[in-house]
Amino acid sequence: MQSVNTDNWTFCRFMNDTFLAMISFGADPETIAEDRLDYFVTVLQNEDTEIFQQKFESLSEACLYLNENYGDWTFEDQTAAKSGCSTCAAH
């Protein structure tokens, strides 16, 4: 099984027919004052509607949660060559 880790989390995600699960980063007023980032496991529907999000203080915790909860979905590396009728970014 392929998994999201601290080296590939910015360009890999898990998908099924309707949803995708990924890690992003951000901060809130308290953590930004401490110069700290938080990591968010986010599930989207059709790439534009947020269904679920959970915050983690460490990237390794976020990776572990993502892999344990969504690892049975299809693993997708966003840097891998796309196939289709064209090589444009839309395919």
Its domain, for residue 20, covers 12-77
pLDDT digits (tens, 9 = 90+) for 45-68: 988 999 999 999 999 999 999 999
Q: Where are the beta strands (DSSP E) in the chain?
A: 12-15, 19-26, 38-45, 49-56, 74-77
How many structural domains comprise the chain? Answer: 1
Q: Residue 22 domain-assigned?
A: yes
Q: Residue 4 domain-assigned?
A: no
Under 8 Å between Cβ of 48 and 20? no
Q: Residue 61 domain-assigned?
A: yes
pLDDT digits (tens, 9 = 90+) for 4-46: 999 999 999 999 999 999 999 998 888 888 888 999 999 999 8
Q: Whose structure tokens read 């949660």?
A: 65
Q: Residue 51 domain-assigned?
A: yes
